[in-house]
Amino acid sequence: MRDLPGLPSRRTFLKASAASAAVAGVAAVSMPAEAAAPAPTPLTEYKPDCLKPTEWAFVMAAVARLIPSDGDGPGAIETRVPVFIDKQLAGDFGKASDWYMVGPYEPAASPLRGWQTPLNPLEIYQQAIPVFDDWCKATHGKIFAELDAATQDKALTSLQKDEMKIKPELREFFGILLANTKEGYFADPMYGGNHGMAAWKYIGFPGARGSYKEWVGKHNVKYPLGPVSISGERG
């Protein structure tokens, strides 16, 4: 079957459902009393809180390259990073509610001087995605989500190196896209990503255990327990 444009490959989805089945399987064996968590809405059917369809398609395609599904460890798609990004952009982070957002602005100031664009993160996604898609079309013939994986990697590298000379107001785009992707991968699952605590299991982070008094003196011995989440998932 051909992969659908703008969506991760079918193989990824199969891997994703296999991963959640595995999670459910483990839960069923070790904690029979606990009801299996209802399967989450497939990403293809997820109704974003703030991202428009083209933006959602871009985020799905981009995070699938930033943290790909092949190789060891889960990818951004199986861990539902796009859901995390949508929710963050719809909330205080997207609106820059905590930040000082009063002019005058100097968006072209040295990057060392921090966030200096008048745009908030949501506005940056909204304005940068079409700019980047246009660039992909002009340079590679198709919008980002429709490119093959190798060309997508090339395009993201160009974006990271700012080869397209994006206007300074949008300069933070690649930086926040990558940061948000990693945040969604590693944050507590209650924020929508890190589904099944899969990223924590992969690297060996015990999540919200937060109590290691008897382990301090066990030097150079690998900690044996899997993660727990804030809402009480056990892995």
Partner 1 sequence: MARTEKKKDVVLVGFGWTGAIMGIELANEGLEVLALERGHDQATVPDFQYPEMIDELKYGIRYGMMEKPANTTVTIRRSLDETALPYRSLGTFLLGTGVGGAGTHWNGLNWRPMQSEYHLKSYVTEKFGAGVMTEDMTIQNYPVTYDELEPFFDRFEKVAGISGQAGNVKGKIVEGGNPFEAPRSDDYPMPAMPSTWDGVKFRDAAKAAGYHPFPSPGGIASKDYVNEYNMQMGPCNHCGFCERYGCYNYSKSSPQTAIIDALKRKKNFEYRVNSEVLRVEKAADGKTVTGVTYFDHKTGEEVFQPADLVILTAFALNNVHLMLVSGIGQPYDPVTNEGVVGRNYAYQITGGYTLFFKDENFNPFIGTGANGFCIDDFGIDNIDFAKEGFIGGAYWRAGQTNGQPGHTMALPAGTPSWGAGWKKGIGEWYGHSMNIGAHGSVMSYRGHYLDLDPTYKDRHGRPMMRMTYNWHPNEIRQTQFMKSKMEPLAKSMNPTTLQEGFKKEGAMFDVRPYQTTHNTGGTVTGSDPKTSVLNRYLQSWDCHNLFVMGANVFPQNTQYNPTGMVGGLAYWAVHHIRKDYLPNPRPLV
Residues lying near partner 1 in the complex (CB under 8 A): 65-68, 70-73, 75, 92-93, 96-102, 104, 106, 109-116, 153, 156, 160, 178, 181-183, 186-188, 191, 199-200, 202-206, 208-213, 215-217, 219-223, 228, 230
Give min distance, CB of 45 to partner 1, in A: 25
> Per the structure block, which two tokens stand in for 166?
């994006």
Mapped onto helix, strand or coil, the DSSP state of residue 124 is helix
Give min distance, CB of 145 to partner 1, in A: 17
Residue with smaller CB distance to partner 1, 34 or 92:
92
Separation between Cα atoms, residue 103 and residue 8, nearest integer Å = 40
Give min distance, CB of 49 to partner 1, in A: 17
Q: How many CB atoms lie within 10 A of CB 168?
A: 15
Residue with smaller CB distance to partner 1, 45 or 72:
72
Separation between Cα atoms, residue 56 and residue 129, nearest integer Å = 10
Give min distance, CB of 105 to partner 1, in A: 9
Separation between Cα atoms, residue 58 and residue 156, nearest integer Å = 12
Mapped onto helix, strand or coil, the DSSP state of residue 30 is helix
What are the backbone dihedrals phi and psi of residue 135, each rounded to the nearest 5 degrees, phi first?
Answer: -65, -45
Residue with smaller CB distance to partner 1, 29 or 100:
100
Residue with smaller CB distance to partner 1, 133 or 183:
183
